[in-house]
Amino acid sequence: QPVLTQPPSVSGAPGQRVTFSCTGSRSNIGAAYDVHWYQQLPGTAPKLLIYDTTNRPSGVPDRFSGSKSGTSASLAITGLQAEDEADYYCQSYDTSLSGYWVFGGGTKLTVV
């Protein structure tokens, strides 16, 4: 089981706002470690979408935003587009015995 918990799927219509949750614990997100988000389009390598919880790399539209509260983090997409259909993964660092870098199980976004 992944250390970070993500819902398996999320769906939304074009133009809508969707959010993705990422639930951790006191040994990772709750320990003040940043959360990073990755987008994986079908058949491609992951791409960094949000780093250090709230920052967008150059080239990522401002439709994508990240936040964190306590032991959880969230990714939001506004103005949903068909090309946003992908898998989204959160990632952080974990300080527990089986720790180091950890990913969530991923959330599949379907644009209906």
Partner 1 sequence: EVQMVESGGGLVKPGGSLRLSCAASGFTFSTYSMTWVRQAPGKGLEWVSSISSSSNYIYYTDSVRGRFTISRDNAKNSLYLQMNSLRAEDTAVYYCARSNFGVVGSYISDNYGMDVWGQGTTVTVSS
**Binding region for partner 1 (CB under 8 A):** 2, 33-34, 36, 38, 40, 44-48, 50-52, 57, 87, 89, 91-93, 98, 100-106
Residue whose CB is less far from partner 1, 34 or 85: 34
Nearest approach, Cβ of residue 84 and partner 1 (Å): 19
Helix (H, G, I), strand (E, B) or coil at 51: strand
Question: Which regions of 42-106 does DSSP assign to beta strands (E)?
Answer: 47-50, 64-69, 72-77, 87-94, 100-103
Residue whose CB is less far from partner 1, 16 or 110: 110
Cα 108 from chain centroid (whole Å): 11
Radius of gyration of the chain (CA): 13
Nearest approach, Cβ of residue 100 and partner 1 (Å): 5
